[in-house]
Structure 1
C-alpha cells in the first residue's frame, strides 16, 4: 500500500508510524488485559476477604453461642448444686429436729416414769404406814382387851 508520487522517505516514515501505532495498540491492549486481570484479581481478593470475614463472623457467633451454652450449663450446674446443698441442709435440719424431738420425748418419758415410780413408792409408803397404824391400833386394842 504505497502511495505513488510521494517521496520514499515518506513511505518509511509512514511504515514507522504504522509500526509505532501497532506497538502502541498492542501496549494498550496489554494494559487493558493487565487492568482486566488486576480488576478480576481485585474482585476475587475482595470476594475472598468477604468470605473470610463472613466465616470469621460465623465463627465468632458460634463461639459466642458455645460460650453462652457453656455459661448456661455452668449456671444450671451451680443451681442444681445449690439446690442439692439446700436439700441436704434441710434434710440435716429435719434429722436434727427429729433427733431433738425424740430426745425430748425420751426425757419426758423418763420424767413420767420417774414420777410414776415416786408416786408408787409414796403410795406404798402410805399403805405401809396405814398398815402399821392399823397393826398398831389392833395391838393397842389387844393390849386394852388384855388389860381389861
Structure 2
C-alpha cells in the first residue's frame, strides 16, 4: 500500500507542476499585458510601478526555480529538491498575495488569476509533503 501512495502522490504532484508551468507562462503574459494597460491608463504614485515590476520579476523567477526543483526532485524521487521547492512555495505565495491584496491598482481579472495560482500552490504544497513523507519513510522488508 505504501508503494501505491508514493506513486499516487508523485503522479499528482508531477501533473500539478506540469500544469502550473503552463499556467505560469499564461500568468506572466497576462500580468505584463495588464501592467502595460494600467501604466498607460492610470497614474501611479512615484516608484510604485517600478516596485511592482520588480516584485513581479522576482515572483516569476522564484516560481520558475520552484517548479524546476519540484519536477527534478519528483522525477528522480529525491526529497531534497522537492523540499527546497516546498520552501520556495512560501515566498512565491507571498508574492501572489501581494498582487492579490496590496497592489496599487487591482483589476477583477487579476483576482481570478492570483486565486488560481494560490490554488496551485496549495495543492502542490500538499502533494509535495505527501511525496516527501512517502520517500522518507523507511522501508521494511519482511
| TM-score, reference length from structure 1 | 0.23
Q: TM-score, normalization: structure 2?
A: 0.24
- Please identify the structure whose Cα radius of gyration is greater: 1
